[in-house]
Structure 1
Amino acid sequence: MRVALLVNPAARAGAHTGAATNAAERLRAHGLQTSILSGGSAAESSELLRAAIEAGVDAVAVAGGDGTVNLALQELAGTGIPLGIVPAGTGNDFAATLGLRELDVAAAADAIAGGVTRSIDLARVTRDDGSTRFFGSVLASGFDSKVNDRANAMRWPRGGSRYNIAILVEFLTLAGIPYDIAYEGADGTRGEVHGDLVMATVGNGRTYGGGIPIAPDADPSDGLLDLVLVRPAGRLRLLRLLPKVYRGTHAIVPEVSITRVRSVRLASPGVTAYADGDPIGALPLTIDMVPGALTIFTP
């Protein structure tokens, strides 16, 4: 089996570790022909991966975090070429949803060499200009996208703790944001939400921000998205909500609603959405599900 192992040296964290080299050595020890692809930018990395796929690789592996995995999703969606993940990034939320987050390099490489795969869904974002992009874990807009803005600009600390700090800082200027939302529910019925929200989040996976279970019951194999809406409340009340968010028990709070949907359109002026930890576009955006779009290696 020929494997293309993607690592992005422009990633914010984890890309300069020895994860890729160690994974490649482990894969080769299993008899797999493994080539490391490392572009100087996200665009160059995508080009290298696209060329490898066109040349006929049998599998793709990524040594990195959600941002680098997201690059691979764009090229692999719908191809049937399996993806292996060596978690080596800041958040690794997509890997967490798939049960791979805690794997070390050797175990992740062994899962690829083992050859066991399964199919999962991907969420597809359509912008107003008609362009599209896939994501695997969570799309965030509103308060949580502002947290992403702040966390991504922070040089210290590394890891998931910077998201915690960013959350607390953003609370100082917390305010409701006007939204217009239209969705198709799991049973095909249509629904709309209009008015101020703190945030509107769409989950294919369960966690974001390095393990925060914002959509605790999301299943990337059920053909549905989890739409999580948080309505304004007093700042102190929302601050008290945070421990429930970290435990994944926030669905019981009156200001929170979680709805299973087939598709959803989010509109709000001046709001940029993030997906898999990176900016994906300004609202309005339409998000729908592509069932079974990705094949992944699993232990």
Structure 2
Amino acid sequence: MAREIALLTNPTSGKGRGTRTAAIALPRLREAGFHVRNLAGRDADETLELAQGCVADGVESLVVVGGDGMVHLAVQALAGTETALGIIPSGTGNDVARYLDLPRSDPQAAADVVVGSRTRRIDLGRAGGQYFVTVLAAGFDSKVNERANAMSWPRGQMRYNLATLAELRVFDPLPYTLELDGEVRQVEAMLVAVGNGESFGGGLRITHGASLDDGWLDVVVIKTMSKLGLVRTYPQLFTGKHTRHPQYEHHRVRSVTVAAPGIVAYADGERIGALPLTVDVAPLALKVLVP
């Protein structure tokens, strides 16, 4: 009897690249002997319903074609279940695919990872009733995310770079109240990031060193600095060298509550909700397919 998996595509991912990518991956999966449900939602609500239906029906794996936003949606259905998440990357940032060392520009090679059926379990973050895989951004970074999501051009990392420069002109430091595993701390900062993984925005390693399966959240505070200092520090986010900056602060916690005025938090590039928010770790809550 053929093993059943689902291929769930975001048809708008990468301005239609999702559909083209699925068309490459699907034959490879069927050739390998899988019975594949080939699905695509018209919007986020329908896509989530399709994902939940697949999990309820007991498919072996839910394979998503898209970027971190599509992964985020699928995780809401998969967290705490035995259905594994597979990823055929076709998004803009693809940070989750980067974490898992998945091929990000070769759909057939990504499909081969699904065929291999090797799994591991990873932690998830949880905030505002939603699970996330990457980083919860709450400050300058979430403002950049909000601006980048509203831009139709350019694609890829350059969109985040331009959004960063635009936001930098108008951003002022924020007064934060943090409750770190019960310990309250007040600090003025440019941003607070809560990482389950170590990067967002296409490789910006804001919570550099965060592990996906250690049962901890990594909280990074970038305290007040000049706008010129922030510009000079920004390129270091791609290498993790920002951890040497004197305004960098790092905590490892099981739970953190973040409060600051006028900030909407994002995670996996998706809107989570206005602060204050409590973020918890859900240890080993997600099964994923890996090389």
Q: TM-score by structure 1 length? A: 0.93
Matched letter for residue 142 of structure 1: G
Show the counterpart of 1:291. Answer: 283
Deviation for aligned residue 1:171: 1.1
d(CA) in 1 for partners of 2:176 and 2:116?
A: 46
Deviation for aligned residue 1:234: 1.6
Indicate yes or no: 2:177 matched with 1:180: yes
Choose from 148, 152, 169 the match for 1:151. 148
Deviation for aligned residue 1:261: 1.2
The number of residues matched between the two structures is 289
Indicate yes or no: 2:186 matched with 1:206: no
Indicate yes or no: 2:160 matched with 1:163: yes
d(CA) in 2 for partners of 1:90 and 1:101?
A: 14
Deviation for aligned residue 1:153: 0.9
Show the counterpart of 1:18. Answer: 20
Deviation for aligned residue 1:192: 2.5
Choose from 77, 89, 92 the match for 2:91. 89
Instruction: Please tell me whether the aligned partners of residues 27 and 109 of structure 1 are also in contact (alpha carbons under 8 angstroms).
Output: yes
d(CA) in 2 for partners of 1:15 and 1:74?
A: 23
Deviation for aligned residue 1:172: 0.8
CA distance 1:13–1:148, change in 2 (3 Å): farther
SS in 1 for 2:184: strand
Task: Write out the 4+ residue segments of structure 1 that deviate beyond 6 Å after TM superposition.
Answer: none
Choose from 245, 248, 258 the match for 1:256. 248
CA distance 1:154–1:103, change in 2 (3 Å): closer
d(CA) in 1 for partners of 2:288 and 2:105?
A: 15
d(CA) in 2 for partners of 1:81 and 1:288?
A: 22
CA deviations 1:156-183 (Å, max 9, x no partner) are 1011110011111111112111111101
Instruction: Please tell me whether the aligned partners of residues 24 and 35 of structure 1 are also in contact (alpha carbons under 8 angstroms).
Output: no
Percent identical among aligned pairs is 46
Instruction: Please tell me whether the aligned partners of residues 11 and 67 of structure 1 are also in contact (alpha carbons under 8 angstroms).
Output: no
Show the counterpart of 1:270. Answer: 262
Deviation for aligned residue 1:226: 0.8
d(CA) in 2 for partners of 1:12 and 1:96?
A: 17
CA deviations 1:29-77 (Å, max 9, x no partner) are 1001111111110000011121222222111101100001111100000
Choose from 162, 180, 184 the match for 1:192. 184
Instruction: Please tell me whether the aligned partners of residues 86 and 108 of structure 1 are also in contact (alpha carbons under 8 angstroms).
Output: yes
Show the counterpart of 2:223. Answer: 231
d(CA) in 2 for partners of 1:55 and 1:116?
A: 21
Deviation for aligned residue 1:191: 2.9
Instruction: Please tell me whether the aligned partners of residues 94 and 104 of structure 2 are also in contact (alpha carbons under 8 angstroms).
Output: no
Show the counterpart of 1:49. Answer: 51
Instruction: Please tell me whether the aligned partners of residues 18 and 91 of structure 2 are also in contact (alpha carbons under 8 angstroms).
Output: no
d(CA) in 1 for partners of 2:145 and 2:104?
A: 23
Q: TM-score by structure 2 length? A: 0.95
Choose from 123, 130, 133 the match for 1:133. 130
Show the counterpart of 1:5. Answer: 7
Instruction: Please tell me whether the aligned partners of residues 5 and 34 of structure 1 are also in contact (alpha carbons under 8 angstroms).
Output: yes
d(CA) in 1 for partners of 2:62 and 2:33?
A: 15
Show the counterpart of 2:60. Answer: 58
